[in-house]
Amino acid sequence: MLASTHARAPGASSEGEEIRDALVITCEHGGNRIPPAYRVLFRSEQDLVASHRGFDAGALVMARSLARAFSAPLAYATVCRLLVDLNRSVGHRHLHFETVRKAPRAVREHILARYYHPHRDEVERLIMQTVERRGRAIHICSHSFTPELKGRPREADIGLLYDPSRPGEVALCDRWKTALEASAPELVVRRNYPYSGKADGVASWFRARLPADVYVGIELELNQKHVDAANPQWKALRKVVVDSLRTALAGERR
């Protein structure tokens, strides 16, 4: 059960370290793994599993870069989002792909028990541990999006998703966007694009349970056109994201 607290960690050496240590990184769509027991449900869907519908390409690499740079805890999953979408609430119509929705209830309950709840429980543990130690948590959810959807190009390189009614999220995204544009003016950075920051997901779940001064949830969205392990620009983009977040966090202390 969630129980918020404003207690600061004893012995915190500086405000800068408190801000850094308040970070928690998660990645809900880090892979497209279909466990053997459920492959029969996707026999005719291999192309879909390998597509943007199956996972967020590059999101886990970005999440690991952030966690490493800030020495932040990382919770991630590599199970295919078509089996169960860890960024959707139980009961959401897109929690499972249609073949899973048609499976017996016992199968779906086992999927939730084996893959969904353990990830959500770990994220909650990290968030609440950080709140207890630092007085709040800054939660960065790492995602990516397909460059084109239904024939329409996505007009952004980076999206920062947040709830406009939460001042801390607004302020952090403003500073992060400014820092991104200053360090890489060729990138198109948009707020609450290509999705609404208030849509159903892990961040919105925590917002409903923790006050704005205790929980700051940001979803980082990268355009998958940049995700290419053989291209040095992909590594450069990740560095830009990390460095700009560092600048944005430092700006909070001024």
- Strand partners for 152: 149
| CA angle in degrees (0–180, nearest 5) for 123-83-194 | 70
Give a yes or no: residue 9 inside a domain: no
Give a yes or no: residue 1 inside a domain: no
Give a yes or no: residue 2 inside a domain: no
What are the φ and ψ backbone dihedral angles of 199, each rounded to 5 degrees?
Answer: -65, 160
Q: Residues 235-253: what's their mean pLDDT? A: 94
pLDDT at 3: 38
202: left (phi over 0), alpha (psi -120 to 50) or beta: alpha
pLDDT tens digits, residue range 41-96? Answer: 999 999 999 999 999 999 999 999 999 999 999 999 999 999 999 999 999 999 99
Percent of the chain with pLDDT over 70: 91
Give a yes or no: residue 34 inside a domain: yes
Question: Domain count of the chain?
Answer: 1
pLDDT at 193: 98
pLDDT band at 5 (very low <50, low <70, confident <90, very high): very low
Give a yes or no: residue 122 inside a domain: yes
pLDDT at 253: 63
Q: Residues 140-150: what's their mean pLDDT? A: 97
pLDDT tens digits, residue range 92-138? Answer: 999 999 999 999 999 999 999 999 999 999 999 999 999 999 999 99
Tokens linked to 17: 């370290």
pLDDT at 252: 77
Considering the chain, what is the average pLDDT of its residues? Answer: 93
Give a yes or no: residue 58 inside a domain: yes
CA quadruple 135, 20, 171, 158: dihedral positive or negative? negative
CATH of the domain at 209: 3.40.630.40
- Looking at the predicted structure, is the pLDDT value of residue 1 above 80? no
Preceding peptide of 194 cis, ω within 30°: yes
Give a yes or no: residue 8 inside a domain: no
Give a yes or no: residue 232 inside a domain: yes
Stated pTM of the model: 0.92
The domain of 95 spans 15-251
